[in-house]
Structure 1
Amino acid sequence: MLLGAASAGAAALALVGCERSATGGSDGGASDGGTGARGADGILRISGTEPGTRLIPSDVNEVGAGRVIGGVFSMLLFHDATGQRVLECARSIESEDNQHWTITLEPGRTFHDGTPVTAQSFVDAWNFGALSTNAQKNQVFYAPIAGFEAVAAEPPAAQTLSGLTVVDDATFTVELTAAQSDFPDLLGCVPFMPLPAAAHEDIEAFGQAPIGNGPYRLEAWEHDSEIRLVPFDGYQGPRESANDGVVIALYADPDTAYNDLLSGEVDLVDGIPSSALATFEDELDGRAVNQPGALLLSLTIPVGNADFAGEAGLLRRAAISRAIDRASICTDLFAGTRVPATDFIAPSINGGGATDLAGAEVLAFDADAARDLWARAEAIAPYSGAPFTLDYAADLPDKEWVEAVCNSIANTLGITATPQSHPSIAEYRALLAERQIPGAFRSSWQADYPSMFNFLGPIFSSTARAAGGTNFSDYANPVFDDLLLQGLAAPDVEQAIAAWRQAEEMLLRDLPAIPLWYQNTLGGYGEGVRDVVFGWNSFPFYFEASKEP
Structure 2
Amino acid sequence: MRSDIRVMSRRDLLRATIAAAGALALAGCTDLRGGEGSAELEGGDPREGAIAVSSVKPLCIDPFNAVDEAGAQICFQLFDPLMRYDYEYGVLTCLAAESYTASEDQREFTFTIREAYFHNGEAVRAQDFKRGWERIANPSSAAAGVLGASNVSFLLSLVEGYQDLREGRASGLSGITCPDDRTLVVRLSSAYADFPYVCAHHCLVPVPDDADADAEAFSRMPVGNGPYKMTEAWDGQSAQIELSRFLDYAGTVTTIDTVRFTFYDSVGDAYRAYEAGDATLAPCPIESVDANAASWKSSDDERLRITSGRRCVLGVSPVVSYLVCNTSVAPLDDVRFRRAISLAIDRDGISKRVYRDARMPADGIVAPVVPGYREGAWPYCVHDNDAAEELLDELYPTGAGGARDVTLTITYGEDSGQRNAMEQIAESLSAVGIACELEELPFEDLYVRYRSGSFMLGRYDWSCDFASMDNVLYPLFHSASLSAYNFSRYANEQVDTCINEARSTGSEGERTSRLQEAEDIVAQDCPVIPYLFGSYAYVGNQRIEQLHIDADGFAHLGEAELAD
- Please tell me the TM-score bracket, short chain as reference: 0.7 to 0.9
**Unaligned stretches of 5+ in structure 2?**
1-9, 12-34, 295-306, 398-404
**Are residue 339 (structure 1) and residue 354 (structure 2) matched?**
no
Q: 2:112 and 2:123 mapped to 1: Cα distance?
A: 14
Amino acid at match of 1:248: F
**Are residue 46 (structure 1) and residue 61 (structure 2) matched?**
no
Q: 2:276 and 2:548 mapped to 1: Cα distance?
A: 22
- Contact 2:100/2:110, CA 8 A, preserved across alignment: yes
**Are residue 82 (structure 1) and residue 89 (structure 2) matched?**
yes
Q: 1:70 to 1:276 in 2, by over 3 A?
A: closer
Q: 1:129 and 1:310 mapped to 2: Cα distance?
A: 39
Q: Equivalent residue of 1:48, what SS?
A: strand
1:496-530 CA distances to partner (integer Å, 9 max, x unpaired)?
Answer: 12221233245446766532223456432112221
Q: Which residue, out of 233, 244, 249, partners 1:236?
A: 249
Q: 2:380 and 2:459 mapped to 1: Cα distance?
A: 22
Q: 1:323 to 1:221 in 2, by over 3 A?
A: farther
Q: 1:384 to 1:337 in 2, by over 3 A?
A: closer
Q: 1:48 to 1:405 in 2, by over 3 A?
A: farther
* 1:105 to partner: Cα distance: 1.9
* 1:39 to partner: Cα distance: 2.0
- Number of the residue aligned with 2:155: 141
Q: Equivalent residue of 2:98, what SS?
A: strand
* 1:326 to partner: Cα distance: 0.4
- Number of the residue aligned with 2:318: 295
Q: Equivalent residue of 2:549, what SS?
A: coil
Q: Equivalent residue of 1:531, what SS?
A: strand
* 1:89 to partner: Cα distance: 2.2
* 1:443 to partner: Cα distance: 1.4
Q: Which residue, out of 248, 266, 272, partners 2:279?
A: 266
- Contact 1:407/1:417, CA 8 A, preserved across alignment: no
- Contact 2:328/2:489, CA 8 A, preserved across alignment: no
Amino acid at match of 2:115: P
Q: Which residue, out of 161, 165, 188, partners 1:176?
A: 188
Aligned residues: 493
- Number of the residue aligned with 2:513: 498
Q: 1:452 and 1:241 mapped to 2: Cα distance?
A: 33
**Are residue 325 (structure 1) and residue 339 (structure 2) matched?**
no
1:159-210 CA distances to partner (integer Å, 9 max, x unpaired)?
Answer: 4332211212222212234454443333222242122223234546644443
1:455-479 CA distances to partner (integer Å, 9 max, x unpaired)?
Answer: 334666677789xx9x484968584
Q: Which residue, out of 208, 212, 216, partners 1:196?
A: 208
Q: Equivalent residue of 1:416, what SS?
A: strand
1:381-402 CA distances to partner (integer Å, 9 max, x unpaired)?
Answer: x9998x63422656xx867545
- Number of the residue aligned with 2:555: 540
Q: Which residue, out of 85, 105, 117, partners 1:109?
A: 117
* 1:448 to partner: Cα distance: 2.8
- Contact 2:267/2:283, CA 8 A, preserved across alignment: no
Q: Equivalent residue of 2:196, what SS?
A: helix
- Contact 1:390/1:441, CA 8 A, preserved across alignment: yes
Q: 1:173 and 1:389 mapped to 2: Cα distance?
A: 45
Q: 2:123 and 2:277 mapped to 1: Cα distance?
A: 40
* 1:227 to partner: Cα distance: 4.3
Q: 1:536 and 1:369 mapped to 2: Cα distance?
A: 39
- Contact 2:544/2:563, CA 8 A, preserved across alignment: yes
Amino acid at match of 1:368: E
* 1:82 to partner: Cα distance: 1.9
- Number of the residue aligned with 1:69: 75
Rg bigger for which structure?
2
Q: Equivalent residue of 1:455, what SS?
A: helix
- Number of the residue aligned with 2:134: 127
1:101-138 CA distances to partner (integer Å, 9 max, x unpaired)?
Answer: 3222223512x344442211111222333346664322
- Number of the residue aligned with 1:379: none
- Contact 1:101/1:175, CA 8 A, preserved across alignment: yes
- Contact 1:324/1:409, CA 8 A, preserved across alignment: yes
- Number of the residue aligned with 1:246: 259
Greater RCO (CA < 8 Å, at least 6 residues apart)? 1
- Number of the residue aligned with 1:517: 532
Q: Which residue, out of 183, 208, 225, partners 1:213?
A: 225
Q: 2:445 and 2:224 mapped to 1: Cα distance?
A: 29
1:59-93 CA distances to partner (integer Å, 9 max, x unpaired)?
Answer: 34442322111011111232344243443322332
- Contact 1:461/1:475, CA 8 A, preserved across alignment: no
Q: 2:486 and 2:113 mapped to 1: Cα distance?
A: 36
Q: Which residue, out of 397, 400, 415, partners 2:436?
A: 415
- Contact 2:322/2:461, CA 8 A, preserved across alignment: yes
Q: Which residue, out of 169, 187, 191, partners 2:199?
A: 187
Q: 1:64 and 1:374 mapped to 2: Cα distance?
A: 49
Normalising by structure 1, what TM-score? Answer: 0.73
**Unaligned stretches of 5+ in structure 1?**
1-6, 9-17, 26-31, 377-381, 423-427
- Number of the residue aligned with 2:18: none
**Are residue 164 (structure 1) and residue 186 (structure 2) matched?**
no
Q: Percent identity?
A: 22
- Number of the residue aligned with 1:93: 100
Please, which moves more after superposition, 157-166 or 291-300? 291-300
Q: Which residue, out of 412, 417, 424, partners 1:390?
A: 412
- Contact 1:300/1:473, CA 8 A, preserved across alignment: no
Q: 2:289 and 2:383 mapped to 1: Cα distance?
A: 27
- Number of the residue aligned with 1:13: none
